[in-house]
């Protein structure tokens, strides 16, 4: 599996990354998924302290025991769970982050985190304090690099402009091309995109017929629009799963595109899709079909700035 450089760092991540949020709760099943991922050449694993109240981090850490050197582990911070473990509140303060990272490291069973990501963000945050926390953790060797997971361009622009963050995680796929307007901005800063939502909740796989028949929606598409665009994409390239992965990797600003797997078989399906060759000419044709959108709010005219 090919690797791409994350920003301007010494981290080289597999083009296909494993988003761990959809892991089953069975440790053996998770181990099977992680084993298959490593065997396929996947080295980037993304989780968060919020997922299943930290259980997701623990499952990933247990599955990677004895193979730490083979993995680039990313997790996230900023959502503080309430004592009952059922709800959470936004807390990007330095004191919370420096405490939360200890819990993530303990659950993952590691000495340091490769990529620590702010799990959201608003323009009302004290971003200087948040960045100070990241920078301190990096100097202390607790984390190697840091980034942000957000779909708010204003928040992303400010974070990149004021920090040494190296990556931006964003939902991006053939049905959600909103991030493309900001790819040049992210590239201009020397940072990379980590794409999530690669197969648009399964709509960009062989399951699209069943999902459409069940009335599955996506973003603000109405039913007819969604049916029309997916069928037009499918007419151009029969293997939508493979097309979805290679579509996301078309722009070099994207360092890795995440796939989620609840079973080993699902993981293998995604690896097979990645290994299926899709000509660039086909991707370029798909790009003429897939509609472009813009975020409804939080936009920033970055290209007007010197």
The model's pLDDT over 5-30, given as tens digits with 9 standing for 90+, comes to 999 999 999 999 999 999 999 999 99
pTM of the model: 0.96
Any long-range contacts for 202-210 (C-beta under 8 Å, 24+ apart)? 203/175, 203/230, 204/173, 204/174, 204/175, 204/230, 204/233, 204/240, 204/241, 204/243, 204/244, 205/240, 205/241, 205/244, 205/269, 206/239, 206/240, 206/241, 208/234, 208/240
| Mean pLDDT (whole number) for 141-150 | 98
pLDDT tens track for 83-131: 877 788 999 999 999 999 999 999 999 999 999 999 999 999 999 999 9
Domains of the chain: 3-301 (3.20.20.100)
pLDDT of residue 257: 98
For residue 51, indicate whether it is catalytic: yes
Nearest partner of 143 among 99, 170, 109, 105, judged by Cα: 105
Per annotation, catalytic residue among 12, 51, 146, 295 = 51
Residue 261 pLDDT greater than 70, yes or no: yes
**Is the model's pLDDT at 305 over the cut of 60?**
no
Task: Phi first, then psi: give them for residue 48, nearest 5 degrees.
Answer: -160, 150
pLDDT tens-digit readout, 228-245: 999 999 999 999 999 999
Secondary element (H or E) of residue 17: strand 16-19
Judged against a pLDDT cut of 50, whether residue 306 lies above it is answered with: no
**Band of the pLDDT at 213, cuts 50, 70, 90?**
confident
């Amino acid at each position: 599996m090919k690797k791409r450089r994350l920003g301007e760092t010494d981290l080289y991540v597999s083009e296909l990354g494993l988003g761990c949020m959809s892991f089953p709760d069975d440790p053996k099943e998770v181990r099977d998924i992680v084993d298959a991922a490593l065997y396929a050449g996947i080295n980037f694993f993304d989780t968060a302290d919020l997922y299943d109240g930290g259980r997701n981090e623990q499952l990933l850490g247990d599955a990677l025991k004895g193979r730490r050197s083979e993995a680039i582990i990313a997790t996230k911070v900023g959502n503080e769970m309430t004592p009952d473990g059922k709800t959470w509140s936004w807390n990007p303060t330095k004191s919370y982050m420096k405490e939360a990272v200890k819990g993530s490291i303990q659950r993952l069973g590691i000495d340091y985190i490769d990529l620590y990501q702010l799990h959201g963000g608003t323009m009302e945050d004290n971003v200087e304090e948040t960045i100070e926390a990241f920078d301190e953790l990096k100097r202390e060797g607790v984390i190697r690099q840091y980034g942000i997971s957000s779909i708010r361009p204003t928040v992303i622009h400010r974070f990149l402009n004021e920090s040494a963050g190296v990556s931006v995680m964003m939902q991006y796929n053939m049905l959600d091309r909103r991030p493309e307007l900001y790819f040049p901005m992210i590239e201009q800063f020397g940072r990379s995109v980590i794409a999530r939502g690669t197969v648009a909740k399964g709509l960009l796989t062989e399951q699209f017929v069943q999902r459409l028949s069940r009335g599955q929606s996506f973003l603000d598409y109405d039913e007819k629009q969604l049916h029309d665009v997916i069928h037009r994409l499918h007419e151009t390239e029969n293997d939508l799963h493979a097309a979805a992965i290679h579509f996301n990797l078309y722009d070099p600003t994207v360092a890795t595109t995440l796939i989620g797997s609840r079973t080993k078989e699902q993981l293998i399906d995604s690896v097979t899709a990645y290994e299926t060759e899709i000509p660039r000419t086909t991707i370029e044709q798909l790009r003429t079909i897939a509609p472009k959108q813009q975020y409804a709010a939080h936009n920033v005219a970055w290209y007007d700035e010197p």
